[in-house]
Amino acid sequence: MTAPATGSDLIDVNILGPEALRDPYGYFAPIRAEHPVLWDARYKTWLLTSHEMVTAALRDQRFSSDRIVPFIRAKLSGPDTDPLIYQAFDLLRNWMVFQDEPGHRRMRTLVVKAFTLRAVTRMEEEVRSISHDLLREIDPASEFDLIEKFAYPLPAMVIARMLGVPERDQDRFRAWSDDIGALVSGGLDDPGRYHRSAAAIAEMIEFFRDLMRHYAAHPAENLISDLIAAREADDSLSEAEAIATCTLLLFGGHETTANLIANSMLGLIRHPDQLAALRAGTVPIKGAVEEFLRYDGPGKAVVRVLAEDAEYGGQRMRKGQRVFLVLASANHDPSVFDRPDVLRLDRDTKAHMAFGGGGHFCLGAALARLEAAVALPILVDALPGIRLAGRELRWQPVFLTRGLRELWVTADGPR
């Protein structure tokens, strides 16, 4: 596809360069101010960076979420297509997040009958007990990677228990979200990613098929049983759709929530006054979580593809072109948030976009909020004097998510 001719072609942006990875907020500030709609010639994508543009695009049906069906058609329809790779993308085709209306609405309506607020609230005690179990394995006075020991396992264990995955399978289950990640995320450092993850995904599909058939015969109080039972008029999820939804919930809720916990702890370590306020209980945790989401949330951007030509911010965008809606930049737009680069746990964050917006607004927002609101105070309480262990902070070299590879910390030990 040829790049459109615009004045902004002359601007050399590198959204995966070291500066943008380290501090996307500082990086995007001048871009947002000068060119809130910018063609990135390097990665052949539009970048929408202002709060106003991102809000509008999230609600504009011309911005399609379906990039899987076109990909399958273009790249996986030939006779020499690896059947495992085909199967993996066929799974993604059934993810609601990659669907447009009316198919998206149909699936979401069915899934929310299972993934209810009640089902989420039921998890509160589980989140608390898993958090304490994980902390018991940590010696606070040693140097430890908070991501490996706590932030990463917690959400996987929570969603596994919510779905009804048996304890003995939870390690495998956790590893699968990395395999899906390799398929979905555009990583720079991982060109052979499809081949490596397709075999693991085939195994995961089999695993969920068996589990689904088990719960179809023996329903229990869990999400898989509720997904099987979900009905809207005469409609229900097919087995393939229910399996796909389980994998979406695992993937959608794992790394994102892990990064929320880790990024929040990093934010607190870097802002001792805010850490002290949270520890003293002078700021409500619910509001604090919203500020963590705004300040350094786990998703830098969501992707759309133009289903029709559109004009935004005076720029003509063409059908078929890719668009990144840069949530991270919208969340630091000074026209909406006063002094956006300051972490202020008591600020008004109502307009933040960390969970996206419009029809695809994060289905798991309540669960992510619950996990963070339970886990962060437990961590803050158990790790007095928490500080960085002096190792370099390395951000994952991907554009869509904002997460550290590791977060090495140490603390003073139990009080």
Residues that bind ligand HEM (CB under 6 A): 65, 96-97, 108, 159, 248-249, 252-253, 256-257, 260, 297-299, 302, 354-356, 360, 362-364, 367-368
Q: Please, what is the end-to-end C-alpha distance for the chain in angstroms?
A: 61
> At closest approach, how far in Å is the CB of 316 from ligand HEM?
23
Q: How many residues comprise the chain?
A: 415
Nearer to ligand HEM, 180 or 367 (CB): 367
CB 343 within 8 A of CB 362: no
Nearer to ligand HEM, 13 or 97 (CB): 97
Q: Tell me how far CA of residue 369 lies from CA of 242, 293, 299, in angstroms.
A: 24, 9, 15
Helix (H) or strand (E) holding 351: none
> At closest approach, how far in Å is the CB of 329 from ligand HEM?
14
3-state secondary structure of 161: helix
Nearer to ligand HEM, 142 or 238 (CB): 238
> At closest approach, how far in Å is the CB of 389 from ligand HEM?
25
C-alpha 323/C-alpha 302 separation (Å) is 8
Nearer to ligand HEM, 321 or 410 (CB): 321
Helix (H) or strand (E) holding 222: none
Helix (H) or strand (E) holding 61: none
> At closest approach, how far in Å is the CB of 358 from ligand HEM?
7
Nearer to ligand HEM, 288 or 363 (CB): 363
> At closest approach, how far in Å is the CB of 354 from ligand HEM?
5
- Strands, E, within 247-374: which ranges? 302-306, 310-312, 315-317, 322-325
Q: What is the 3-state composition of the chain as percent helix, strand, coil, each rounded to the nearest 5? A: 55, 10, 35
> At closest approach, how far in Å is the CB of 38 from ligand HEM?
20
Q: Which residue is nearest to ligand HEM (CB)?
A: 364
Nearer to ligand HEM, 199 or 322 (CB): 322
Residue type (1 letter), 346: D
C-alpha 47/C-alpha 89 separation (Å) is 26
C-alpha 92/C-alpha 194 separation (Å) is 13
> At closest approach, how far in Å is the CB of 2 from ligand HEM?
26
C-alpha 276/C-alpha 273 separation (Å) is 5
Nearer to ligand HEM, 36 or 297 (CB): 297
